[in-house]
Amino acid sequence: MTHVLASAGSTAAATSQSIIFWLLAVVSVGSALGMVIARRAVHCALFLAAIMLSLAVYYAMQSAPFLAFVQVIVYTGAVLMLFLFVMMLIGVSSRESLVETIRGQRLAAAIAGIALVVLLIVAIGHAALGPATQSVTNGSTGNITGLATLIFTTYVFPFEVTSALLITAALGAMVLAHRERLSPKPTQRDLAKQRVASGRPTPLPSPGVFALHNAVDMPALLPDGSPSELSVSSMLTRRELGDDGTPMLPPVPEESGGPGPDYDNPAGRLAGDGEPVEASTQGGADA
């Protein structure tokens, strides 16, 4: 009875494993194709995250829980974040031109890829791959203990070499990212002189100080009612550039009698508000 139950349980486990395998195979291969095809670099990074997470599930299914966690933490956590950081520094919206620089290169690359797949699959088909063993423990108590035993006994020299490699990589990244200062750092005195010489010693006007809007992308209104472009951050205006390259200032609400709200004449606003009331009373009089 217990034997039957155990066999049924192992069959169910095998079935669920194969279901997960095919599901994630579709996801990972589709994401890999999407990564090759997608135009924007951020979409490629998202596809790569999907591939890495599905590979982590594969590792967990193949009795490699340590590698599954390392895959999620190191790859999806660290490496992909590094990619995203560099992407943000370089310009997240940069699109790649789809013009082929070498004629027929894509077709040749696709043919080469398919040929590589066929070659390797034929090679795998000829190789005698045995069935999967049930447990991968290396004679130790568990996966992590076995890995630690191997790393610190058999593979201790490669392990030390990787530490040297990591230190070298960190130093190399620091050297490459370092930039020498070519001009002396401006002191506070220099900055003050520069500000006076620029013709505007005062701070810039703050945006949206009027009663209707206080959003940072709303320009402040000058005394004559015209919007002040200086009050909006140049980053915000650059984000909303029009087709002709000029910043699109948000529309100033149209009110009766002027380009902006007429704060000097509150009676005008009251008269404007009173108009519908007059209309309704007229309608009432007609009825």
Site for another protein in 126-185 (CB under 8 A): 129-133, 135-138, 143, 146-147, 150-151, 154-155, 158-159, 162, 165-166, 168-170, 172-173, 176-177, 179
- Provide the minimum distance between the beta carbon of 185 and another protein in the complex, in angstroms, as a whole number: 20
Tokens of 75: 């790859």
Q: Which of 106, 193, 195, 239 binds another protein (CB under 8 A)?
A: 106
**Out of 6, 8, 12, 25, which residue is the one contacting another protein (CB under 8 A)?**
25
Q: Map residues 49-78 to x or -, x wherever contact with another protein holds by CB under 8 A.
A: --xx--x--xx-xxxx-xx--xx--xx--x
Nearer to another protein, 64 or 230 (CB): 64
State which residue, 45 or 236, has the beta carbon closest to another protein.
45
Tokens of 45: 């990074």
Nearest to 63 by CA among 138, 136, 129, 150: 136
CB 64 to another protein: min, Å: 5
**H/E run at residue 220:** strand 220-221
Closest contact distance (angstroms) between CB of 12 and another protein is: 14
Distance CA 272, CA 256 (A): 7
Q: Which tokens in the block code for residue 58?
A: 């594969």
Q: Per CB under 8 A, which region of 36-44, 189-197, 213-221, 252-260 contacts another protein? A: 36-44
Whether the CB-CB separation of 75 and 52 falls below 8 Å is answered with yes
CA distances from 31 to 42, 94, 112 (A): 13, 21, 20
Please tell me the distance from the alpha carbon of residue 249 to that of residue 233, in angstroms, as a whole number: 11
Exactly one of 1, 4, 90, 197 binds another protein (CB under 8 A); that residue is: 90
Residue 146 to residue 66: CA distance in whole angstroms: 11
